Amino acid sequence: MAGKRGMGCVYKRGNIYWIRYSVNGESHHESSRSSKEADAKRLLKRRLGESADGRFIGPKFERILLCELCEDFLTDYRINGKRSLDKAQRSVRHLLGFFKEIKAQQVSTDRVNAFIAHRQAQGVSNAEINRELAALKRTFNLGLRAEKIVRKPYIPMLKENNVRQGFFESEDFRAVREALPDHLKPVLTFAYLTGWRKEETLGLRWAQVERGAATIRIDPGVTKGGEGRTIILRGELRKVIDEQWDNHRLDCPYVFHRAGKRIKDFRGSWEKALNAAVVEGKIFHDLRRTAIRNMLRAGVRERVAILIAGHKTRSILDRYDIVNEGDLQEAAERIARRHRRRTVTHTVTANTSSAI
């Protein structure tokens, strides 16, 4: 809030000194929280200086803590039923773990850069850091909307490489599945065959499964893309669902569970399985890329493959750097045939010229 340099005064209430000053015609009364007049005079001088420099935000806004804004951010996730609440909570934990009990107006671009450097030193990817920075941006935007703060810092974003190339070869998949606990093995197989997101797989309910028709249905509005879809159960995929049905519990609506409880997070088991299988650098999302690639290798049309996995457009093939090897082989054969024809034509022409 920019303001003209105003006049002020110091006065006493009980044992505490207060100050009174005016910014843009608005009068402000503020406690120095001190019984010393010198402390009150220093506070008054600082407030008048902030007003003259255009840096005045007011004591009400100055007291707001970042953790308060973060709680509002999580509340927004809850009341709007956003499915990625767990990720938002992780982002907030990392943010507050670094900024701690800092006031919101003390979060500067320099401190944001220090947070970025801190997370990079921990080996965190730029993509993950950007998710945390996006949460911080949203936190400040909600604070502005609620009129709890009057300004936000500039929050830079990092460059990401959006071409992702992680895939599970069949031997790696089998090794990791064997090393996982029994309740997670069908989860891995289902994701490997369908390319469904982790949240969609773990959230699959028996109400979505039509065992008689051998189909699984996701209603519109439930998925990340907002569109419904249906997949057909055949072969190993049908076997996974049938085995889960044989072990289902009446007190649990979820297809995949652990002792009747929904599976929410298994990062610890995942890392242990990777180590035991001697498979490095794999994440669960690699199963999504792998499923689409395997469908294309099997001759499934691109449009059908991305629909099964739950994408809207074929741009996902470019972003995941997925190539249909059959198309590459056909292209190579066409190039070779063209090269052979040009060579033959050149030879015939040369021989004809010689004969003349």
Q: What is the pLDDT of residues 123-180, one digit of tens each?
A: 888 889 999 999 999 999 998 888 788 778 999 999 876 545 578 888 999 999 999 9
CB 33 within 8 A of CB 22: no
* Domain ranges within the chain, ordered by starting residue: 8-56, 66-145, 170-319, 324-356
| CATH superfamily of domain region 170-319 | Intergrase catalytic core (1.10.443.10)
Give the chain's mean pLDDT: 82
What type of residue is 292? I
Q: Which two tokens stand for residue 304?
A: 């059908």
Nearest CA to 40 among 49, 31, 48? Answer: 31
Average pLDDT for 261-274:
92
CA distance 141 to 161: 27
Q: How far apart are the first and last CA of the chain?
A: 93
Q: Which SS3 state, helix, strand or coil, does residue 223 take? A: coil
Using CA atoms, how far residue 76 sits from 81, 89, 129, 142, in Å, is 8, 12, 21, 9
**Other CB atoms closer than 10 Å to residue 64's CB: what's the count?**
18
pLDDT-above-70 percentage for the chain: 80
* Residue linked to tokens 């006031």: 103
Band (pLDDT 50/70/90 cuts) for residue 206 is: very high
Lowest mean pLDDT among 60-64, 152-156, 306-310, 344-348: 344-348
In degrees rounded to 5, what are phi and psi of residue 81?
65, 35
**pLDDT computed for residue 225 by the predictor:** 54
CB 217 within 8 A of CB 206: no
CB 218 within 8 A of CB 208: yes
CB 240 within 8 A of CB 186: yes
pLDDT of 105 higher than 90: no
| Helix, strand, coil distribution of the chain in percent, nearest 5 | 55, 10, 35
What pTM was computed for the model?
0.52
Residues contacting 90, CB < 8 A, separation 6+: none
The larger pLDDT score, comparing residue 171 to residue 222, is at: 171
Nearest CA to 19 among 42, 52, 2, 3? Answer: 42
Strand partners, 21: 8, 28
Lowest mean pLDDT among 2-11, 246-255, 278-287: 2-11
**pLDDT computed for residue 1 by the predictor:** 36
The larger pLDDT score, comparing residue 71 to residue 2, is at: 71
CA distance 192 to 111: 41
Using CA atoms, how far residue 323 sits from 7, 297, 316, 319, in Å, is 71, 9, 11, 11
In degrees rounded to 5, what are phi and psi of residue 3?
-155, 160
In degrees rounded to 5, what are phi and psi of residue 295?
-65, -45
Band (pLDDT 50/70/90 cuts) for residue 3 is: very low
